[in-house]
């Protein structure tokens, strides 16, 4: 049984307000927001046990999700259905970091159905990423090198003896392992020769021995009769690969510009753990740097985090085809990243056009303009359930619910002033009631959802 929480090396102390904020920060970064029921198990155990639970998803029962997925009868040859299937997983999984890591790998090994033209192949790739998300990077890299969608996406189907196609060999070094500046054009050519004959058929990966170049290659200073398996092993063992992966994981889970010492620490874990991704994640979440003020509310929410987090906050449990379309309008079209580099993330998520889509989504959420929001509890009902009777405590409750209370004093004052007036702008000395209260609370929530802090994790 997990031990009761008394202290943690990252934050120290007993279950103080600071401790609860650290746990909420951890669970938010490791998933897509949470309902009160989803957060509860993590507040009953130590911080270290919470990290262990999140980074060891196979130890958490997810049978309820699997049963729900079967009942949905998704068609995995339908591009809209595979998007809904994945969003359904994000909303209902008991293993949030499993889905968050699958999203990370989807952006890392970025593959798009607009070119692959096989929703089923994209679905298979997604399942492979999820299965291998926390293990040795070598295994995941090899699986992606043999993945049918990847083979089509980066033209390895056309990579043949005496006429090598260099596309995959280049990207596996530039984007998937070491990064620019750690290899030569000759390494690209020799790597392409090693991957010749790695093709796909309708049944899956196929090694076409007749099209494989079995001559000696010299790759990153080593020579031999290398094939693709050898190239994967050589790349996974490079020092540059550990730093490249550490930097990307930290940008995704911790800080937009992680300090060098943090990158060095996580890269060292990569090599010491035999390239184990789960060990790297555990080290990130256990680091004092992750619990620091610098890290808190420092990352811009991706559309996945923004939309799924909002649905969880208001406990809206229906995911139809409108949800992935809304996310695509915000800049994140699942199974269709914009290029082989994936999504840029960070500040790119909040360009003027995509911010407008976020504000429109907030307006729709609070005005119940979608059929799938019919069962959404009204703000007035939430206030009644929480026993809120004054303006100040009502504003503070919704600020806590939506932004962990992280709002400037001036913004809080303006929200209190807003809720202290009726629809005609007349000053009140108490909460309004009836339809006026409902309207003002909906407006309050919309205003909070347009705060800069609501765009951040």
Of residues 189 and 427, more confidence is placed in: 189
Strand pairing report for 204-207 and 198-201: antiparallel
Q: Tell me how crowded residue 99 is: count the other CB atoms within 10 A of its CB.
A: 25
Listing DSSP states for 171-200 in one string gives: HHHHTSSS-TTSS-HHHHHHHHHHTTTEEE
- Please state, in angstroms and as integers, the Cα–Cα distance from residue 195 to each residue in 22, 231, 405, following that order: 46, 8, 53
Identify the DSSP state of 390. Answer: S
> Picking from 119-133, 141-155, 268-282, 429-443, which range would have the lowest pLDDT averaged per residue?
429-443
Question: What angle do the packed helices 277-286 and 47-55 form, to 10 degrees?
Answer: 150
Q: What residues contact residue 335 under an 8 Å CB cut-off, 6+ apart? A: 79, 82, 83, 86, 106, 112, 113, 119, 122, 126
**Would the pLDDT of 8 be above 50?**
no
Question: 207 pairs with which residues across the strands?
Answer: 198
Question: 163 pairs with which residues across the strands?
Answer: 160
- Segment 241-257 mean pLDDT: 98
What is the C-alpha separation between 230 and 142, in angstroms, rounded?
10
Tokens matching residue 372? 């799938």
Tokens matching residue 223? 């020579």
Mean pLDDT of the chain: 92
**Would the pLDDT of 6 be above 60?**
no
Domain ranges of the chain: 1-55, 72-236, 379-455
Tokens matching residue 294? 């610098």
Identify the DSSP state of 117. Answer: -
**Would the pLDDT of 4 be above 70?**
no
What is the C-alpha separation between 29 and 191, in angstroms, rounded?
36
Give the three-class secondary structure for 60: coil
> Picking from 102-116, 135-149, 351-365, which range would have the lowest pLDDT averaged per residue?
351-365
181: left (phi > 0), else alpha (psi -120 to 50), else beta? left
**Would the pLDDT of 431 be above 60?**
yes
Q: Which of 283, 197, 293 is nearest to 246 (CA)?
A: 283
pLDDT at 430: 83
Write out pLDDT tens, residues 156-195: 999 999 999 999 999 999 999 999 999 999 999 999 999 9
Tokens matching residue 431? 């909460």
Write out pLDDT tens, residues 312-346: 998 888 788 889 999 999 999 999 999 999 999 99
pLDDT at 9: 37
Cβ pair 321, 79 in contact under 8 A: no
Cβ pair 183, 220 in contact under 8 A: yes
Write out pLDDT tens, residues 250-299: 999 999 999 999 999 999 999 999 999 999 999 999 999 999 999 999 99
Question: What angle do the packed helices 79-92 and 63-72 form, to 10 degrees?
Answer: 150
Beta-strand (E) ranges in 98-202? 198-201
Cβ pair 365, 310 in contact under 8 A: yes
Res. 103 pLDDT band, cuts 50 70 90: very high
3-state helix, strand, coil in the chain (%, to 5): 60, 5, 35
Query: For every residue of 255-305, which 3-state class applies, written as one string?
Result: CCCCCHHHHHHHHHHHHHCCCEHHHHHHHHHHCCCCCCCCCCCCCECCHHH
Res. 370 pLDDT band, cuts 50 70 90: very low
pLDDT at 375: 45
pLDDT at 3: 34
């Amino acid at each position: 049984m997990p031990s009761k929480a008394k202290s943690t090396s990252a934050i120290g102390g007993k279950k103080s307000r600071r401790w609860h904020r650290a746990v909420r920060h951890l669970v938010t970064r490791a998933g897509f927001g949470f309902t009160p029921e989803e957060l509860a198990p993590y507040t009953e155990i130590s911080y270290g046990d919470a990290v262990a639970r999140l980074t060891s998803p196979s130890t958490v029962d997810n049978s309820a999700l699997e049963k729900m997925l079967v009942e949905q009868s998704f068609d995995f040859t339908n591009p809209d259905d595979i998007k809904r299937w994945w969003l359904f997983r994000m909303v209902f999984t008991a293993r949030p970091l499993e889905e968050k890591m699958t999203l990370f790998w989807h952006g890392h090994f970025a593959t798009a159905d607009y070119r692959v033209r096989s929703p089923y192949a994209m679905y298979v790739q997604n399942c492979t990423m999820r299965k291998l998300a926390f293990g040795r990077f070598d295994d995941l890299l090899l699986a992606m090198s043999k993945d049918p969608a990847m083979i089509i996406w980066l033209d390895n189907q056309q990579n043949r003896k005496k006429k090598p196609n260099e596309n995959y060999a280049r990207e596996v070094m530039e984007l998937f392992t070491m990064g620019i500046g750690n290899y030569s054009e000759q390494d690209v050519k020799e790597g392409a020769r090693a991957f010749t004959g790695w093709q796909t058929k309708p049944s899956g990966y196929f090694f076409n021995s007749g099209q494989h170049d079995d001559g000696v290659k010299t790759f990153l200073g080593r020579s031999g009769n290398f094939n693709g398996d050898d190239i994967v092993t050589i790349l996974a063992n490079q020092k540059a690969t550990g730093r490249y992966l550490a930097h990307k994981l930290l940008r995704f889970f911790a800080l937009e510009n992680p300090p060098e010492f943090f990158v060095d620490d996580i890269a060292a874990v990569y090599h010491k753990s035999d390239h184990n991704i789960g060990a790297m994640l555990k080290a990130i979440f256990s680091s004092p740097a992750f619990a620091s003020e610098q890290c808190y509310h420092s990352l811009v929410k991706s559309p996945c985090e923004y939309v799924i987090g909002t649905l969880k906050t208001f406990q809206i449990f229906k995911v139809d085809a409108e949800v992935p379309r809304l996310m695509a309008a915000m800049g994140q079209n699942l199974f269709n990243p914009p290029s082989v580099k994936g999504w840029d993330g960070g500040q790119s998520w909040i360009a003027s056009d995509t911010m407008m889509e976020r504000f429109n989504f907030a307006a729709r959420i609070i005005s119940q303009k979608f059929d799938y929001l019919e069962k959404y509890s009204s703000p007035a009902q939430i206030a009644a359930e929480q026993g809120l009777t004054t303006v100040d405590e009502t504003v503070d409750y919704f600020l806590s619910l939506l932004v962990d209370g992280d709002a400037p004093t001036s913004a809080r004052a303006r929200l209190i002033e807003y809720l202290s007036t009726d629809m005609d702008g007349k000053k009140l000395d108490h909460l309004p009631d009836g339809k006026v209260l409902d309207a003002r609370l909906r407006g309050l929530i919309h205003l909070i959802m347009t705060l800069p802090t609501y765009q951040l994790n």
